[in-house]
Structure 1
Amino acid sequence: MTDWKPICRIDDIPVLGARCVSRPQGLDVAIFRNEQNQVFALLDRCPHKGGPLSQGIVFGTQVACPLHNWTIGLCDGQASAPDEGCTPRFTVRVEGGLVHLNTQELATVATDLTRPVAGPARRSACAQAADAPAP
């Protein structure tokens, strides 16, 4: 038996936009709504460089990542060719105007994934070792 968690009303998700759902463990889940009022849910992380897909542009059944414009399929999380990669997808149910997510998936899918750290905040092991005091 599948347990469903009510998340929001479909009208709470902007048309051609997204809404984020926080989880106790793991990255947020992005819930998308297209112009036909279809609702999709993906991990809020592009498979390329970890960009927040919830901030991307929705068109048809795809979303464009805001960082490098990769196109990700909302139905399956697959990057469009020539790009390669996939972001985890979550099962969505809409009943009576309410959007629900599968509680088991929320608790277990991709809870170990993190968003990549870029720029000066990320230091290699070599740089850290060079800063360490001599023995």
Structure 2
Amino acid sequence: MNWIDIGKLDDIPLRGARVVKTPLGCVAVFRPTETEVFATSDRCPHKGGPLSEGIVHDRKVTCPLHNWVFCLETGAAQGADEGQIETFATQIIDGRILLDSRTLQTEAAA
């Protein structure tokens, strides 16, 4: 994998998110716990809502427009909702968040 440094872990508030702009679209980076981050496309497949503005709970995010819930690990919609969001590999090294840029080169983020 080709890892790119996208910032400090502490730049993202606990149970919050930040947006990383890429040539292929925006990626939402979520921090559901003190030591975990997940990256997904920033658009809900239902109505295009900005997932980075949604509510982060457990390892899930709820879309701010129509309350669709997505698993941050798999991208799968939860409950009765149907759909999928793209997920992107991340890792944390020495307090820095790394995002797999190779995935972003082969798939559209938004």
- Kindly indicate whether structure 1 or structure 2 has the higher relative contact order, using CA contacts under 8 Å at least 6 residues apart: 2
SS at match of 1:85: coil
Deviation string 1:32-55 (CA, Å, 9 cap, x unpaired) is 001343100000011211110000
| Aligned residue identity for 1:55 | E
What's the TM-score, normalizing by structure 2?
0.94
Larger relative strand fraction? 2
| Aligned residue identity for 1:101 | L
SS at match of 1:11: helix
In the alignment, structure 2 segments of 5+ residues that lack a partner are none
Deviates more, 1:101-110 or 1:75-84: 101-110
- RMSD between aligned alpha carbons? 1.2
Larger relative helix fraction? 1
Deviation string 1:54-89 (CA, Å, 9 cap, x unpaired) is 000100000000000101100011111200000000
For the pair shown, which has the larger CA radius of gyration, 1 or 2?
1
Deviation string 1:65-116 (CA, Å, 9 cap, x unpaired) is 00001011000111112000000000001111110011111222225x5xxx
| Aligned residue identity for 2:85 | T
In the alignment, structure 1 segments of 5+ residues that lack a partner are 114-135
Counterpart in 2 of 1:46? 44
Query: Percent identity over the alignment?
Result: 46
What's the TM-score, normalizing by structure 1?
0.77
State how many pairs are aligned: 110
**1:63 aligned onto 2:50:** no
Ranges of 4+ aligned residues in structure 1 off by more than 3 Å: none
**1:10 aligned onto 2:41:** no
**Is the contact made by 1:15 and 1:37 (CA closer than 8 Å) also made in structure 2?**
no
